[in-house]
Amino acid sequence: MSRLLSRRFTRRLLSNLVSAVLLVLFSVHARADEISIWNFNDSDLATDHGSGTLNSNFNPANILFAAGSTNNARLGDPAGQALSLQGGTSNANNGRSITINVSTVGFANIIVSFATQGTSTGFNSNQFQYSLDGTTFIDFGSPYAPATAFGSVPIVFTLSSVPGLNDNPNAAFRIVFNGATSSTGTNRIDNIVVEGSSETIPEPATAVLLLTGLTSLYGIKRRRPGTARWRSPI
């Protein structure tokens, strides 16, 4: 009776171990990763980490760079420089924008964040938009007005409610600037980060090796002492 109970306990233990291994190995693990980062420390519009493009239809003379911030900085980036956008002659840059194109393939729950500040005569009504095809842009949320200093809290747009941005090679984002009342009124933007949740699944080979090892151990447990013949299951 005790031997029978021992065998049943061993079988139950093996079954529980296999279930636990499968649960751990084949669960999908999500983690937040930066996809693209612009810190503007090189005084240009090129991406500084990751891949993507940033373009603007501002008058080139009004695309400047000025002292930046560590607000929303990533990967140890220093304050360095920030993108500085001016209203321009006759406030001609009202209604103009910066556009970010980033592939989100392999990512979900997209978030776009950045640090910003503005002068009293700079752009005080700015609209964030997204695009699923890189061409047609849709307003997301209400227009925002930048604070007068960078501070420590970035502006964050959480786009998990837009599933079409997930795993999308043509994802794009835009900020349309309005409200400038002076040619030298400015908004500074720094440390633009596009990030999302990446999903990783353990390789099946890992599971197979571990399960094979467990099965071998079970076979050794069931072998008769002094013989190579396997016992039939009870």
Residue 230: predicted pLDDT: 46
Average pLDDT over residues 47-63: 98
Residues 232, 234: Cα–Cα separation, whole Å: 6
Full DSSP string of 144-211: B---SS--S--EEEE-TT-GGGTT-TT-EEEEE-----STT-EEEEEEEEEEEEEEE---HHHHHHHH
- Three-class DSSP category at 216: helix
Residue 13: predicted pLDDT: 44
| Residue 231, pLDDT above cutoff 70 | no
Full DSSP string of 111-156: EEEEEEEE-TTS---BEEEEESSSSS-EE-S--B---SS--S--EE
Residue 32: predicted pLDDT: 75
Count of CB atoms within 10 A of residue 110's CB? 25
Residues 107, 168: Cα–Cα separation, whole Å: 8
Residues 127, 124: Cα–Cα separation, whole Å: 10
Residue 98: predicted pLDDT: 98
Residues 202, 154: Cα–Cα separation, whole Å: 35
In tens, the pLDDT along 135-165 reads 999 999 999 999 999 999 999 999 999 999 9
pTM: predicted TM-score of the whole model, two decimal places: 0.75
* Sign of the C-alpha dihedral computed for residues 196, 39, 175 and 168 taken in this order: negative
The CA distances from residue 89 to 66, 97, 183, in Å, are 19, 16, 5
Domain ranges of the chain: 29-200
Domain formed by 29-200, architecture: Sandwich (2.60)
Of 132, 115, 207, residue with least CA distance to 170 = 132
Choose between 208 and 125: higher pLDDT.
125
Residue 194: predicted pLDDT: 98
Average pLDDT over residues 45-64: 98
Choose between 26 and 111: higher pLDDT.
111
CB hemisphere CA count around 94 (13 angstroms): 17
Rounded to the nearest 10 degrees, what angle do helices 204-222 and 2-26 cross at?
170
